[in-house]
Amino acid sequence: MRRKGASKPVTVLVALIVGVLIGAVIGYALSPKAPVTTTVTAPSGDLEKLKAENEQLKAKVEELTKKLASAGEGEITIKIWTIGPDPPSEYRLKNFQIAAEMLNKWLAALGSKVRIKIDGQFFVRPVEWGEYKNKFYLAYKSGKAPDIYLTGHEDVGFLAANGYIIPLDDYIKEYWDVVYYDVIPTLWEAVKYQGKIWAVPQDTEARPIYFRKDVLKKLGWSDEEIAQLPEKVKRGEFTLKDLLEVAKEAVDKGLVERGILHRVKEGYDYFQFYLAYGGRLWDAESGKMVFTKSAWRKTLQWFHDAVWKYKVISPTQFSGDWDKDFHGPFTQGKALFLSGGTWHKGEWVSKGLLTNEEFNENIGYMLHPAGEPGKKPVTLSHPLIYTITKQAQERGVADVAFLLITLVTDPHLNANHAVQSSHLAILYSEISDSRYKKEPFLADVAYMLDYTTFIPNHPKWGDYSRIVFNVLRGVESGDLTPDQAFNELLNGIKGLGSDAVIIED
Amino acid sequence: MDYSFQWNWVGLQNYAQMLSDPIAGKVFNNTLLYVFSTLTFFNVGAALVISLITVHIPERVGQGYRALWLLPRITPSTVYALLWLWAVRQDPTALFNWILGFFGMEPVNWLHKHPWPIVILVNGFVGASFGMIIFTAALKSIPADYIRAARVDGASTFQIIRHIELPLIKWPLMFVTAYQTLSLLTSYEYILLVTNGGPGYYTTEVWALYSYHLAFAQYGGIVKFGYGAALATVLVILGLVLSIVYWRVFRLKELMIEPKIEV
């Protein structure tokens, strides 16, 4: 018995060694050969430009080093607050850690004994925007505000008006040639308030309607028809009504459980349907928000019909769960259309709900179709921005904070964020970043920015949005008819005052 | 005061806004429904029934049954709310639908179809324990001689309850009614966790929750501390008025005065 027991481990050991050797030989034979090292020469124009930018940046760091010399030795802590709430947007904070590491190396090379430390937070769900912003206001009032605060561009007006943040015009002028000349110009409009620039754009996005190609195929659509759908939407030949018809057909034939999905919580996406019916959100001349009666009537009717006539949106969608009622059904092919954002692609891939290959094979994307023939298709953008708080200035760290923002406003670092989270580039040079270019989805949706609208930068925008959300929730649940909903909506909007909203027919 | 945190004196503007607030009326009616139903069916009604049953059955069984009723109270509110959400979800395997399945019925989305009964049940299961403890203590403090004498005289259990026990626990009954009314008026925690005021158009939004939503919890981070506080002040005033009403109607002063004889 003993002999038998002792021989077993030896046999296993010998088998293992033989297995490892065989594996190593097979692995060597099959593994791809290392690429032959070649010297890549950058185009001389780009190289010169890069050198010039680096020289300027170096000069700025040297200047800062001299300023910091008075601080002697030690650490300067920069407190940064950022939010996803989608987890793949983590580079909104991570990039600062990379930038600080880089900056510390430069400081060391320049002989400075000061080091920069990042005390950062990246908030993800279940923390949503409202909670995040409330945390900021309360932290600010208790003197514990972050130095750099990431928020939505629509907050610029009241953050500036109430003295939370500082204007950045002088800094931007100073660092213009380093990187800011490269920022896509429309984004500057989103960070202006009363003629001044109060923030630096961090990212932007588009909100497409995703569709399942596999389901359309089962409905009898040819590959060409499927490929042409985004173009038809662009030309206004496929409207919101067509969206309902196709979704209904898919549900009726039992190909999907749900025809159309939209977000399950409050947000700004619903305004796209209003815009698609020709509604206006913003009157640039008067600086007021706009309520277009005819467009809201049609929008409310559309949501009502989608739930109760066509039965393609669930009446419980608004009390649903992100995973069970939004991401899950669509990525599993149980829903045909999804009104989402570009970042959702990043979320699906990073969560493992879809691989890139599955996404490319089965998922298509298009603008939100025009409400009716003759109207235009739409999308909505909500650029996020980095601001510097007044408390950072009072603590004497605004210069360092801005340098860090400048360092993260870099085509390479911002592409980290854009590629991982499926947000769109903010710099022209980022569009030609090799990783960005490898992501066909980002290139494919870039045209949508030609059809985009920004959310109004008005202090009462949140009220407008809340009233719309609650009324839509009532329409979908069946609590309100479209007429009742319109009256509730109009009354609510009137309550915001004529100094805030223009009501037009 | 709003998110700007500027203290601007606006006089009674927030109260005037309340009068023209299209939502306030609906929310007020919801609050009445919530307080009256939960109080009647659970915080006083169920609490009294549980106490009466458990003092008339063998002591050990009664104690065990009462201990079970304390579970919702001692369970963390988020865990308790999650258990309810699981029990009432639309899946056929969820507790409520599993029971329906025995009768061959289709699964129901309970929170969507019957939000109010669920909200009342969720709050009632927690709220009944307070009254249960008070009533049980009061019932147990009734001298056993009264009960024995009644039994000797041939009184049934129902007659003992009707003519001896209920009159003798009148003060605890009135106290629990008054206390729980005020408590329910300001409570919103479980509604927030289970329906968040929905589904639909402010379906289960009660006054305290409306105040909380406006003051602290809006998507865009807009906070209306001033208006939220004004709404909450209405609850304080309502609470004071109800306290006076209860004081007078229930003659609670008599409960507080020194006993006329020394016991």
CA torsion, ordered A133, A139, A144, A150, to nearest 10 deg: 0
Looking at the domain assignment, is residue B3 inside a domain?
no
* Rounded CA separation A281/A292 (Å): 8
Closest by Cα among A201, A204, A146 to A405: A201
Handedness of CA A417, A422, A423, A426 (dihedral sign): positive
Average pLDDT over residues B33-53: 96
Place of tokens 């289970």: B194
- Please classify residue A413 by burial: count the beta carbons closer than 10 Å to its beta carbon, then call 0-12 exposed, 13-18 middle and 19+ buried: buried
Per the structure block, which two tokens stand in for A206? 């588009």
Domains A48-205+382-454 and A209-381+460-504 share a fold: yes
pLDDT in tens, A110-156: 888 889 999 999 999 889 888 899 899 989 989 999 999 999 998 89
pLDDT of residue B2: 64
Residues of chain A in contact with residue B217, where contact means CB-CB under 8 angstroms, are: 130-131, 134
Task: Say which residue, A16 or B250, is predicted with more confidence.
Answer: B250
Give the CATH number of the domain where residue B78 resides. Answer: 1.10.3720.10
pLDDT of residue A65: 74
Rounded to a whole number of angstroms, the distance from the CA of B200 to the nearest CA of chain A is 4
Contacts A–B by Cβ distance under 8 A: 94
Looking at the domain assignment, is residue B213 inside a domain?
yes
**What is the pLDDT of chain B when averaged over all its residues?**
92
* Rounded CA separation A310/A247 (Å): 8
* Rounded CA separation A421/A408 (Å): 16
Asked if A205 and A424 touch (Cβ cutoff 8 Å), the reply is yes
Handedness of CA B213, B215, B221, B222 (dihedral sign): positive
Query: Which residues of B have a CB under 8 Å from any CB of A?
Result: 3-6, 17, 20-22, 90, 109, 111-112, 195, 198-203, 216-223
Residues of chain B in contact with residue A132, where contact means CB-CB under 8 angstroms, are: 221
Whether the predicted pLDDT of A422 surpasses 50 = yes
Lowest mean pLDDT among A233-247, A353-367, B2-16, B26-40: B2-16
Whether the predicted pLDDT of B263 surpasses 70 = no
* Rounded CA separation B69/A291 (Å): 52
pLDDT of residue A418: 94
pLDDT of residue A271: 96
pLDDT of residue A471: 96
Four-way CATH pick for A209-381+460-504: 3.20.20.10, 3.30.420.40, 3.40.190.10, 3.40.50.300: 3.40.190.10
Q: Taking CA atoms, what residue in B is nearest to A161?
A: B4
Residues of chain B in contact with residue A480, where contact means CB-CB under 8 angstroms, are: 200-201
pLDDT in tens, B203-233: 999 999 999 999 887 777 677 889 999 999 9
Residue A479's region, left for phi above 0, alpha for psi from -120 to 50, else beta, is alpha
Whether the predicted pLDDT of A23 surpasses 80 = no
* Rounded CA separation A343/A204 (Å): 10
ipTM, 2 dp: 0.81
Residues of chain B in contact with residue A316, where contact means CB-CB under 8 angstroms, are: 90, 109, 112, 199
Pairwise CB contact (< 8 Å): B22 & A491: yes
Count of structural domains, chain B? 1
Pairwise CB contact (< 8 Å): B5 & A267: no
Pairwise CB contact (< 8 Å): A477 & B3: no
Q: Taking CA atoms, what residue in B is nearest to A266?
A: B219
Rounded to a whole number of angstroms, the distance from the CA of A25 to the nearest CA of chain B is 53
Pairwise CB contact (< 8 Å): A488 & B22: yes
Whether the predicted pLDDT of A4 surpasses 70 = no
pLDDT in tens, B77-126: 999 999 999 999 988 999 999 999 999 999 999 999 999 999 999 999 99
Looking at the domain assignment, is residue B2 inside a domain?
no
pLDDT in tens, A273-313: 999 999 999 998 888 999 999 999 999 999 999 999 999 99
Pairwise CB contact (< 8 Å): B220 & A319: no
Rounded to a whole number of angstroms, the distance from the CA of B155 to the nearest CA of chain A is 53
Pairwise CB contact (< 8 Å): A161 & B222: no
* Rounded CA separation A337/A312 (Å): 10
Query: Which residues of A have a CB under 8 Å from any CB of B?
Result: 128-134, 136-137, 141, 154-155, 158, 161-162, 265-267, 315-316, 318-319, 461-463, 465-466, 469-471, 473-474, 476-480, 488, 491-492, 495
pLDDT in tens, A67-81: 766 666 678 999 999
Whether the predicted pLDDT of A66 surpasses 90 = no
pLDDT of residue B103: 93
Average pLDDT over residues A452-460: 85
Rounded to a whole number of angstroms, the distance from the CA of A10 to the nearest CA of chain B is 52
Per the structure block, which two tokens stand in for B91? 């899946």
pLDDT of residue A39: 40
Nearest to B218 among A158, A316, A462 (CB): A462
Pairwise CB contact (< 8 Å): B201 & A474: yes
Per the structure block, which two tokens stand in for A370? 């025009």
Asked if A335 and A328 touch (Cβ cutoff 8 Å), the reply is no
Looking at the domain assignment, is residue B8 inside a domain?
no
Nearest to A492 among B22, B90, B218 (CB): B22
Nearest to A319 among B5, B111, B217 (CB): B111
Q: Which CATH architecture has domain A48-205+382-454?
A: 3-Layer(aba) Sandwich (3.40)
**What is the pLDDT of chain A when averaged over all its residues?**
89
Domain residue ranges in chain A: 48-205+382-454, 209-381+460-504
Average pLDDT over residues A161-173: 94
Rounded to a whole number of angstroms, the distance from the CA of B39 to the nearest CA of chain A is 26
Rounded to a whole number of angstroms, the distance from the CA of A470 to the nearest CA of chain B is 6
pLDDT in tens, B52-81: 999 999 999 999 999 999 999 999 999 999
Average pLDDT over residues A437-442: 88
Domain extent, residue B218, equals 13-252
Handedness of CA B49, B52, B56, B62 (dihedral sign): positive
Whether the predicted pLDDT of A6 surpasses 60 = no
Residues of chain A in contact with residue B216, where contact means CB-CB under 8 angstroms, are: 134
Pairwise CB contact (< 8 Å): A129 & B221: yes
Lowest mean pLDDT among A41-45, B154-158, B184-188: A41-45
Q: Taking CA atoms, what residue in A is nearest to B198?
A: A319
pLDDT of residue A3: 45
Asked if B111 and B88 touch (Cβ cutoff 8 Å), the reply is yes
Lowest mean pLDDT among A20-29, A64-73, B183-192, B211-220: A20-29
Looking at the domain assignment, is residue B148 inside a domain?
yes
Average pLDDT over residues A8-37: 55
Task: Say which residue, B31 or A61, is predicted with more confidence.
Answer: B31
Looking at the domain assignment, is residue B247 inside a domain?
yes
Looking at the domain assignment, is residue B7 inside a domain?
no
Asked if A485 and A474 touch (Cβ cutoff 8 Å), the reply is yes
pLDDT > 90 fraction of chain B, expressed in percent and rounded: 80
Q: Taking CA atoms, what residue in B is nearest to A314?
A: B112
Residues of chain B in contact with residue A315, where contact means CB-CB under 8 angstroms, are: 112
Q: Which of B90, B201, B225 to mutate to test the interface with A (most CBs of A within 10 A)?
A: B201
Looking at the domain assignment, is residue B1 inside a domain?
no
Grade residue B1 by pLDDT with cuts at 50, 70 and 90: low
Highest mean pLDDT among A188-197, A259-268, A456-465: A259-268
Count CA within 13 A, CB hemisphere, residue B235: 27
Average pLDDT over residues A452-464: 86
Whether the predicted pLDDT of A427 surpasses 60 = yes
Pairwise CB contact (< 8 Å): B199 & A161: no
Q: Which of B222, B224, B227 to mutate to test the interface with A (most CBs of A within 10 A)?
A: B222
Highest mean pLDDT among A447-461, B7-21, B53-67: B53-67
